[in-house]
Amino acid sequence: MFSCAVRSICTSATVAAGNACRPLAKGELRGHASAMFRLPADLKAKGEEAEASFRAWLNQSGVAFLYVEQSPLNVPDRLRGRIKRPDYLVGIPHAGMMAFDVKAKSTYDDHLLFEVGEVDKLACFEAFFHMTVNFACLDLNDPEHFYWVPLRALVGRPVERRGRARVLAFPIADALQVAMGEGFLEAYGRFSQRSLGL
């Protein structure tokens, strides 16, 4: 059995929706959430470009990292549709590792928007694997930097409606801006200081 503690960091939207972190019972039918979602070709291309830019930055930084292949076979049957794999696992010398989900994002009214279901599924990953998850948000029209947003900074934020989408809005001013010329460990040091309120 999976621990109920996993549900504790999921957003309030997840709890209200019936504990998306809960694994499927044996024989339980999956709803639409488990079906493979196909992005439009242009959005997929932007996402791949953002991932390639982030990978180049990690390579330039010299840190150890792993790309997590996004195959449905990488997730246990009972968690499929309820957990999301991040894109990269980055090793921090003598400390451990952290996960990054890379997004091609533009700002709207000085906010970055995150889809509620995706945040919930990444929160479940963070809970099951006890690994800090972050977003790396790249604006492809402004490729000189990206925004580092910790997943936990989104948990508990009010859900907004933007058209048909349910999103969490995060002020761009609260995100850590990282220049592509800056190394990972230098950025991680600034991230750590900010997390401690220094």
Q: Which of 66, 67, 64 is nearest to 91 (CA)?
A: 64
Q: Which of 35, 14, 114, 12 is nearest to 81 (CA)?
A: 35
Is the residue at 35 inside a domain? no
Supply the CATH number for residue 13's domain.
3.40.1350.10
Is the residue at 44 inside a domain? yes
CA dihedral over 178, 183, 186, 189, signed as positive or negative:
positive
Residue type, 9: I
Is the residue at 67 inside a domain? yes
**pLDDT digits (tens), the chain, 198 positions:** 333 334 444 444 444 334 556 544 444 444 334 344 456 777 778 889 999 999 999 999 999 999 998 777 778 888 888 999 999 999 999 989 999 999 999 899 999 999 999 999 999 999 999 999 999 999 888 889 999 999 999 988 999 998 889 999 999 999 999 999 999 999 999 999 988 886
Is the residue at 61 inside a domain? yes
10 Å Cβ neighbour count for 48? 13
CA dihedral over 127, 106, 92, 69, signed as positive or negative:
positive
CA distance 109 to 29: 40
Backbone Cα Rg of the chain: 17
Is the residue at 97 inside a domain? yes
Cβ burial of 134 (10 Å; 0-12, 13-18, 19+) is buried
Is the residue at 34 inside a domain? no
Range of the domain at 106: 4-26+40-195
Burial 7-46 (b: 16+ CB within 10 A, else e): bebbbebbeeeebbbbbbeeeeeeeeebeeeeeeeeeeeb
| N- to C-terminal Cα separation, the chain | 40
CA distance 152 to 168: 12
pLDDT of res. 35: 40
The pTM score is 0.80
pLDDT of res. 41: 79
pLDDT of res. 150: 97
